[in-house]
Structure 1
Amino acid sequence: MMLFIASFFGTFFLALALTPICRSLARRFDILDRPGARKHQSEAMPMLGGIAIAAAHLIVVVAGSLTLLFAQDLLRKWGILGPQWSIDLKFSEGDYALPAMILGGVVIVLLGLADDRHGLSIKIRVAVESLVAIVVVICGLRLSIPFLPTPIPEILTICWIVGLTNSINLIDGLDGLCAGVCTIAALSLGAVLIWGLQPLVASLLLALAGATTGFLIFNFPKASLYMGSAGSIFLGYSLACATALATFTMNQNVIASLALPIIVFAVPLYDTFSVIVIRTREGVSIGRADQNHLHHRLLRLGFSRKQATVFIWLLTFATALPAMTLVNSGILDTLVVLLVTLAVVGLIVLLERVQGHFDTQAPRDHD
């Protein structure tokens, strides 16, 4: 248990210390998100919060990996690593998924930083993300789908990494929204993996949750800085890689293992899908920014910004909580959880359908 506590609070306190530094650096180097037609803020906001999240997470993960590699017996002696936990980094077998994930995370952060500074096209971002995903898969990371032949699992892994990376990026539109959703998801998935005796990936997820929680103190309404693309795509990438590295059930229910992370991320995935449908229907590029995301639609329904943020957190929790029961479930249980998830998505659709009743209400700025 000490391993998980150290993972969470190590990144939490690092993010807590690094975030104000990154805020000052953003102002100094003019890396700011300025008010505009699609922006809700009234003043320029520092955008380097994502660097604090990524730095805190990567520092703890690298330090923890080196400790596990060279001093695992010492951790057991000190009681940090319990006797029931066995962590094999698999380097001796030629499986370099973890170091590839770490290096890929650095590239993703740099990509996001370039986007924050210069505004990259979606084609460039997706191309770099795809290249990183391909390299990580070549180094050993892939979804465990035993009934599918090579290279289908590898292709699906690449699609999952790129898809979730961009889905998490797209929900980063309100103070605290992206960080809160990712915290809920990481804690839920981490708890499942602790129960399922997979301490390595559980520690990765808890470290990510600690970093986002530390950052959230500065980002919850009213925020003093944003995470920017550097933070949102790093979070999406890290969550995608961690879920691809894990097996989420204690039995042979492969469907439940694959469905569990999809259910946890049902809300951001729905948001991405619905926006793509809207943009396709309107005949505009799917990479074109607009105000059709879930949080925008909630604002048009009359939610305040804080209310919209908390509501989407609750929706994420409503899908994550039943998903956690799939760790030791059968096919019938999986179907029940899928129905619950569809009900949550159905609630979102229903709210959007009755938007006409709220058309006379403008989005509110109060908390």
Structure 2
Amino acid sequence: MDKQALIFSFGACAFTVIVIPLVLRLCKKNSWYDKMNARKIHTENIPRLGSLGFVPAFFIFASVFVSKQDTGLFLRLLPLFAAGFIVFIFGLCDDFADLPAGIKLAGQVLASFIPLAFDFRFTQFGPLQLGALGYALTFVWFIGSINAFNLIDGVDALCGSLSFFLALTLGIICLLTGKPVLPGIFFVLAGSLFGFLLYNKPKAKIFMGDGGSQFLGFAFAVFPLCGISAFVDYNLFPLMIVLVSIPALDTVAAVWRRKRERHSFYTADSAHLHHKLLRMGYTTRSVLAVLLTIQAGLCCVAAFAATVLGGKRGFFVLGGAFAAMTVFFALIHYTYRAVNRQSFPRAAGEKQ
């Protein structure tokens, strides 16, 4: 890794470690907590503004790093930083006062149009050139990723740890195949997240909140579109789908579940992947261990496909990895249903 990138990554980590205790003190003074309710896993009031530590750390250290390395690239990335800031602010507002679904979606749409206006988009899907279809696919990708990371943030350190693995993997892929400055962006994000995870690991002292989870979803949706290399671009979309398959498939399941039950997508429930594993007898730590082990495996497969195989071979390996994750989610779903049926038999006429 470039020495400058390493220094800025440690700087972002140190910034987060120093700022989080100040945020904790501020939250406790003003009673800014993630309140307990029937669907929450924690059993006490926990501050939920951890994003105020690691998101500013990323913005500050990533922007200074890029501007020092390549002024032209910094100017090209300014719209992405601006769009990410919009997502962060809307998420932060939602942490203080539950925003109506329409306002939250409006903020996400506004932020998503900014990179599209500057032509940050998927241009191909394997051998298929997307053309204008790339704009629509990228827009759906932005909105889906923002919400997917928001929904998976339900267990101590889960969203942060998945994101840490993802940032490291993308940094390594960029380092091995791409432009010299791009790895630093992901390594700075990894450093920021590591500092946050010191306070978010079980038993968490603070949560990242919607400001953090939605920002991470957008960051991982948009920064890989900066043009890593032609070698990676061939499989960039399947690569990213595999890397985010845990939150992505959990979101697909949530959409299907809420459509089936005729509920709004923004209606909260307690049937996400982590909830199911907890009700199947796993502890918070074991849920974290299982899902991070899977994420580490996905990262290894994705990195190998992106940096070594490439082309059609990489495309089929990534397709196989995503198929395996789909089977995993199906197994968890039907195992969970079987466990629930044994523990709580259905009354006559009750729907599944």
Normalising by structure 1, report the TM-score.
Answer: 0.86
Q: Deviations over 1:53-108 (max 9, x none)?
A: 101100101211332246xxxxxxxxxxxxxxxxx5174xxxx3x11111222222
SS of equivalent to 1:221: coil
1:144 aligned partner, one-letter code: T
The 5 Å alignment of 1:59-208 reads 59-69=60-70, 88-89=72-73, 91=75, 96=76, 98-145=77-124, 147-150=129-132, 152-208=133-189
- Cα distance in structure 2, aligned partners of 1:303 and 1:357: 16
Which residue does 1:325 correspond to in 2?
A: 304
Cα 1:248/1:355, change in 2 over 3 Å: farther
- Cα distance in structure 1, aligned partners of 2:264 and 2:33: 26
- The answer (yes or no) to whether the contact 2:80–2:114 under 8 Å persists in 1 is no
Cα 1:347/1:148, change in 2 over 3 Å: closer
1:32 aligned partner, one-letter code: Y
Which residue does 1:11 correspond to in 2?
A: 12
- Cα distance in structure 2, aligned partners of 1:343 and 1:121: 36
Deviation at 1:332, TM superposition (A): 2.9
Which residue does 2:54 correspond to in 1?
A: 53
- The answer (yes or no) to whether the contact 1:157–1:244 under 8 Å persists in 2 is no
The 5 Å alignment of 1:140-289 reads 140-145=119-124, 147-150=129-132, 152-247=133-228, 250=231, 254=234, 256-289=235-268
Q: Deviations over 1:266-303 (max 9, x none)?
A: 11100000111111111111110001111011111111
Cα 1:90/1:33, change in 2 over 3 Å: closer
SS of equivalent to 2:231: coil
Give ranges in structure 1 of 5+ residues lacking alignment: 71-87, 363-367
Deviation at 1:189, TM superposition (A): 1.2
Which residue does 1:316 correspond to in 2?
A: 295
1:230 aligned partner, one-letter code: G
The 5 Å alignment of 1:288-303 reads 288-303=267-282
Deviation at 1:248, TM superposition (A): 5.7
Deviation at 1:357, TM superposition (A): 5.1
SS of equivalent to 1:39: coil
More off after superposition, 214-223 vs 236-245: 236-245
Q: Deviations over 1:109-135 (max 9, x none)?
A: 211111001101222112111111102
- The answer (yes or no) to whether the contact 1:142–1:244 under 8 Å persists in 2 is yes
Alpha-carbon RMSD: 2.0
- Cα distance in structure 2, aligned partners of 1:140 and 1:90: 16
Cα 1:324/1:286, change in 2 over 3 Å: same
Identity of aligned residues (%): 26
Give ranges in structure 2 of 5+ residues lacking alignment: 345-352
Cα 1:283/1:357, change in 2 over 3 Å: closer
Cα 1:249/1:6, change in 2 over 3 Å: farther
- Cα distance in structure 1, aligned partners of 2:299 and 2:103: 32
- Cα distance in structure 1, aligned partners of 2:184 and 2:292: 22
- Cα distance in structure 1, aligned partners of 2:338 and 2:250: 22
Normalising by structure 2, report the TM-score.
Answer: 0.90
More off after superposition, 297-306 vs 171-180: 297-306
Which residue does 2:350 correspond to in 1?
A: none
